[in-house]
Amino acid sequence: MVEDTEKAESKKAAKKEAKKAEKAAKKAEHKVQSGKSEGEAPAEEDVSIGKYGNLPLIKSDPTVLKHTFTYIKDLTKHLTGNTVWVRARLHTSRARGKQCFIVLRQREFTVQVLINVSENVSKAMVKFSSNISKESIIDVEATVVEVPSGVAGCSQSQVELVASQIWIVSASFPQLPLQIEDASRPEKPGEQDSLNIRVNQDTRLDNRVLDLRTATSQAIFRLEAGVCKLFRDILTSKGFVEIHTPKIIPAASEGGANVFTVSYFKGSAYLAQSPQLYKQMAIAADFEKVFTIGAVFRAEDSNTHRHLTEFTGLDLEMAFQYHYHEVMLTIGDLFTNIFKGLRDHYSNEIALVGQQYPAEPFTFLDPPLVLQYTEGRRMLKEAGVEVGEDEDLSTSVEKLLGRLVKFKYDTDFYILDKYPLAVRPFYTMPDPLNPKSSNSYDMFMRGEEILSGAQRIHDRLLLTERAKHHGIDISTIASYIDAFKYGCQPHAGGGIGLERVVMLYLGLDNVRKTSMFPRDPKRVTP
């Protein structure tokens, strides 16, 4: 009896297990047919397939479909309702539920993009958009929508873009060595804000490509290009000819020790400290008025806010009739017109830089103020600072004199004329009325020197005498001296440091901000 009961229970259990197995088999078959793994919900149809993803590497394939792109700066409410394509960097992004907000950036221009789940935009596309790393270059197709209340923090505040396609053109590494927002924060003198991150100078320069993407850097170097353009256009209109001079030379052009020596085949040569000698040779060759824009090298171990070992020189030389002031005042007028050009045509760039680095507006007189060196010494003496008649001005004394001039004459630009002969290069013409003085001048912006110039000696015998006086080996500059053997017009000129001019015009605190890839005694990279 007990045995029969056990058999019945055994059959019952076997039947139960068979039913269970059959049920599991049917369930497995259903999973295979539906293509789903265990525990996964049925797939939601992705309505955005083919509208987002990574673009193939652009290799200039002529068969690839081309779009017409719109610049962010041109996105205004007048385009409301239009569908546009934009290629730009992903500046910032934030996901919120079924939405992702992206800010696109081109130079200093920004616009907000909305990727929103809809009948044409899937959750997968929104998720993809939210995972794109900052600084990636992306293509976006979108509809321009007017935003009456405005979009805070974007240059294109009257509109936003509602995206219908989004493609990665070139992805950025997700980990950035500096954040563009941090590198763009306003810096006010004396401000201590522990809540906001400040990017230090070395971090900026070590990652210069990223730092140059800030709106401020973009504005600085567009204004710097403006200085070069104005310099070139103004002088060309005055009859000057642009020339290009050697940067590898046989002897130190300034007669000093601060020169870079380079290996030159079986011998040595030097990197030019100035195009000075070649400008003068061009005058001797009857070009009459010349200018050049190019690299200048100074092997000075000066780790200051205004010194670089390589900078861009704006140099000019001009023949005159009777007095070197014909040239000096031409240069003064050149600066006045550059300042006017920057004021009138680069106001947006000036304002952008001022937002991050506040400074007093640059002031100047027309015509510019000209002071004698003796007058400058007198003003300094009245302020309690003595400068010898054969002494040059130190940096701190120059700044003090700049403040005194600003207070008395309300100008940030002025010319100081008749420097002591002892502190000028060997080719400087001595003053005919005072053997201790010279026909030379410096020009200043905000109390710092930005140009050094003079009448040059155009007589071969006097030039040879002055070179020997400075201890220069005549054989190393023989070709320069020989240029005056066959007659040369009296002439004068000057050399300008481009980066220093831009730094001082904008009221910045360091010349490295105005040098795209600065070189100084401690930096030769990137």
Of the candidates 356, 363, 258, 253, the one whose C-alpha atom is nearest the C-alpha of residue 301 is 258
Q: Give yes or no: 500 in active site.
A: yes
Q: Give yes or no: 232 in active site.
A: no
Catalytic entry in 298, 424, 446, 466? 298
17: part of which helix (H) or strand (E)? Answer: helix 2-34
Catalytic entry in 141, 181, 300, 326? 300
Q: Along the 526 residues of the chain, how does pLDDT read in single tens digits?
A: 444 555 555 556 555 655 665 565 455 444 444 444 445 555 578 999 999 999 999 999 998 889 999 999 999 999 999 999 999 999 999 998 899 999 999 999 999 999 999 999 999 999 999 999 999 999 999 999 999 999 999 999 999 999 999 999 999 999 999 999 999 999 875 554 555 678 999 999 999 999 999 999 999 999 999 999 999 999 999 999 999 999 999 876 555 568 999 999 999 999 999 998 899 999 999 999 999 999 999 999 989 999 999 999 999 999 999 999 999 999 999 999 999 999 999 999 999 999 999 999 999 999 999 999 999 999 999 999 999 989 999 999 999 999 999 999 999 999 999 999 999 999 999 999 999 999 999 999 999 999 999 999 999 999 999 999 999 899 888 888 998 999 999 999 999 999 999 999 999 999 999 999 999 999 999 9
pLDDT score at 196: 66
213: part of which helix (H) or strand (E)? Answer: none
Q: Tell me if residue 381 falls in helix, strand or coil.
A: helix
Catalytic entry in 185, 222, 307, 523? 307
- Do 55 and 139 meet the contact criterion of CB atoms below 8 Å apart? yes
**Whole-angstrom distance, CA of residue 462 vs CA of residue 472:** 14
Q: Give yes or no: 94 in active site.
A: no
**Whole-angstrom distance, CA of residue 240 vs CA of residue 252:** 26
Catalytic entry in 437, 449, 456, 466? 449
Catalytic entry in 122, 452, 499, 512? 452
Instruction: State the CB neighbour count (10 A cutoff) for residue 471.
Output: 8
Task: Give the pTM.
Answer: 0.87
Catalytic entry in 306, 446, 456, 458? 306
Of the candidates 450, 474, 448, the one whose C-alpha atom is nearest the C-alpha of residue 463 is 474
Query: Taking the alpha carbons of 156, 160, 164, 168 in that order, is the dihedral positive or negative?
Result: positive
Identity of the residue numbered 248 = I
